[in-house]
Every structure is written in structure tokens, then in C-alpha cells.
Amino acid sequence: MKKMILVAAAVLAVVGGGVAVAQSDVIAQRQASFKRMGEHMTAMKAVADARGAGAQFAGNIDEMLHVFQSVPSRFPAGSATGGNTKALPTIWSDAAGFASAANDTVTKLQALRTAATTGDGAAFQAAWQAVGPTCGACHRTYRAR
């Protein structure tokens, strides 16, 4: 009974004005995801620079693909405020462009995943180097500095 009351109270809090808290959670979750993506790219850098095969990063790349395939849904309407966000309003005013930028990153990550599984170090390096500019292009347009 106590659990049911707590759940009902939580639902009422969200419905009755807890939207800012929910939006802050969305912001914190997407920031944590993007931080992790940066960590994956950093971890791959030394291997890519040494023209290593990169097969050990297949799981990391799969996680990155999952995150970037869901990027537009990580920015629901109303999540421009309510947390420490650097998301620019352009994300919502140019939703098609934002989705296209995410799709570009997905395409580059798919190539990176393929290169990682081939054992070709030069291909892994080239594919890794192709991912970074897609991140930068999105940041320049859709993220405050």
C-alpha cells in the first residue's frame, strides 16, 4: 500500500508541475550520453593514430550507434531549459537539419564499425577521423560554446 501511494504521488508530481524536473533528467541523461561518446572517441584515438585494427571497440561503436540513432528523441520539446544545457534553440527550429546531422554521424559510425571488424588499421584510422568532423559540425550549429 505504501509503495502504491508513493507511485501515485510521483505521478501526480510529474503531471502537476514536475515537468521541469523531468526535463532536467532528460538534459542530464543526454549530457551523460554525449560525455560517454566523447570518452569512446578518446579511447579510440590512440589505436587509430597507431593504425591499430580497433576490433576491441566494436561494443563502444555499437553503443555510439544506439545513442546517435536516438539523438532527436533525446531533445524533446521543452527540454531547452530546466538544466545546465548548451542546446541551442536551432535544435527545435531546424529539427530536420538536426536529425540530418545525427544521421550523418550514424553513417560515419557504421563505416567505423565496419572498419573495426575488418582488421584493417588504416581503414579504422580513416573511419575514426571521419567521425570527428560530424560531431564538430553538429556542435557548431546546435550547441552553445
Q: Each residue of 47-103: pLDDT tens digit? A: 999 999 999 999 999 999 999 999 999 999 988 877 788 999 999 999 999 999 999
pLDDT of residue 95: 96
Identify the CATH homologous superfamily for domain 26-142: Cytochrome c/b562 (1.20.120.10)
In whole angstroms, give the CA distance from residue 32 to residue 24: 12
**Sequence letter at residue 122:** A
584515438: which residue's cell? 45
Estimate to the nearest angstrom the gap between the alpha carbon of 45 and the chain centroid: 18
Contact of 142 with 105, CB cutoff 8 Å: no
The domain ranges of the chain are: 26-142
pTM of the model: 0.81
16-25, 46-55, 58-67, 118-127, range with the lowest pLDDT: 16-25
CB 33 within 8 A of CB 73: no
Q: What is the pLDDT of residue 20?
A: 42
pLDDT score of 38: 96
Mean pLDDT score, 106-134: 96
